A = this chain, B = another copy of it.
Amino acid sequence: MPVSLKESCSINLGYPYHKHKTPAESLSRLSSYLNEQKKVDSEIGNDHGASLLEDKVAKLFGMQAALWLPTGTLAQGIAARIHGQQTNSERLLLHPSSHLLLHEEQGYQYAHGCSAKVIGKWRETLTSADISGESGSLFVELPQRHSGGKLPSWNELQGIKDHCKALGMPLHMDGARLWSCRPFYENRSYADIVAGFDSVYVSLYKDIGSMGGAILAGSQVFINDARKWRTRLGGFSVGSWPLIYDALHLIDNRITQMPAFIEKAKQLANGIQHIDNFRIDPVVPHTNLFHILLNVSADKAASARDQVARDSGVWLSDRFWDYEYPNTCAMEFVVGEKALALESEIFTKAMTLFDKALNP
């Protein structure tokens, strides 16, 4: 097959964000790891590896139990359903940029029998004021991806937790990128951040960079129930083991790398603040993800990105989101091993070219 423009770039800052060149290399790396670990046929088709990973994440989050699932969509659908059944309210309180509203063909409704009340503003994190007077189960995304990876202040987060506790409102965290939150919260532990949530979903591929998969954590009763739903919905393939062992292999190292990714995101964002046509959001990134807001359509932005790729060999981003207003979009930038290894000046130069391509 022909090599794409993205793949032809000498500096490729798109997904995957960590350093490994090809699918074949990912598999070789995992094969070596399994050889070192002396993993034998009995690993196939059972949940031994999943248990190791579940126990590890449950402990890290201070939760009683956890469950491996193939996708965040399934994890959060199951969470929505269980919270709804426990409270006799199928209503979900969702931020307008929630994954459930944007990327799941309304599975929360058609597959899980829930309804959605949309609360809060796109570019702002949820506040306890947003849920005042509401009922249902609250989904809070930490960090809020489509708002540029923003996080609520620690006090605001505590306010939300207190509010939900007082009302007996189930509180679920869409923590797909929870791994990147600790520095913003003054290095409080994951368990401190998670405390007060009834359930948490976290991705194993977004920041961890493993092949795929997700973890749902909560009380033992909640997870027992979730496990039944995983069976009912066919969520545990006999072929889950490569994903699970890849996550076990990578998780510790990637968690250790997170602070450096976040520092680098701040550096890179700082290096383009002077470009008048860009609005960096948030101005100082909260995590390893930030947005550059552009006053052009996503198509035009992608064309300019392609021009920079052709002219300079730098692939800036895969993603230009255009959910908010016509003829605007948000370039999503994520720092992993590849952006970490980049000299900041190269990014500044490429973004300057990008600006010129957008505003000739």
Contact = CB atoms under 8 A, between A and B. Distances in A.
Contacts of A104: 231-232, 234
22 contacts: A1-B40, A21-B41, A22-B34, A22-B39, A22-B40, A23-B44, A23-B242, A24-B34, A27-B31, A31-B31, A71-B238, A73-B234, A104-B232, A105-B228, A107-B231, A107-B232, A211-B238, A211-B239, A212-B240, A213-B237, A213-B239, A234-B235
Interface string A34-77: 11001111111100000000000000000000000111111101
A245 B23 contact: yes
A213 to B, nearest CB: 6
Q: Please state the number of chain copies in the assembly.
A: 2
A41 B23 contact: yes
A3 B40 contact: yes
Nearest to A106: B232
Interface string A186-198: 0000000000000
A155 interface: no
Contacts of A228: 105
Contacts of A110: 229, 232
Contacts of A71: 234-238
Contact of A24 (B3, B31, B72, B73): B31
Given A23-B245, A107-B231, A242-B242, 14 more contacts: A4-B42, A7-B40, A7-B42, A22-B35, A24-B35, A28-B28, A70-B237, A72-B234, A74-B235, A104-B232, A105-B228, A111-B229, A213-B239, A233-B233
A171 to B, nearest CB: 21
A79 to B, nearest CB: 12
Contacts of A106: 232
Interface string A172-208: 0000000000000000000000000000000001000
A39 B16 CA distance: 15
Taking residues whose C-beta sits less than 8 angstroms from the other chain, chain A's interface range is 35 or more
Interface string A307-330: 000000000000000000000000
Contacts of A205: 238-239
Nearest to A49: B23
A248 to B, nearest CB: 12
A73 B23 contact: no
Contact of A27 (B28, B77, B213): B28
A91 interface: no
Interface string A90-111: 0000000000000111110011
Interface string A241-269: 11101100000000000000000000000
Contacts of A103: 231
A35 B27 CA distance: 10
A41 B22 contact: yes
Nearest to A211: B239
A23 B7 contact: no
Interface string A101-136: 001111100110000000000000000000000000
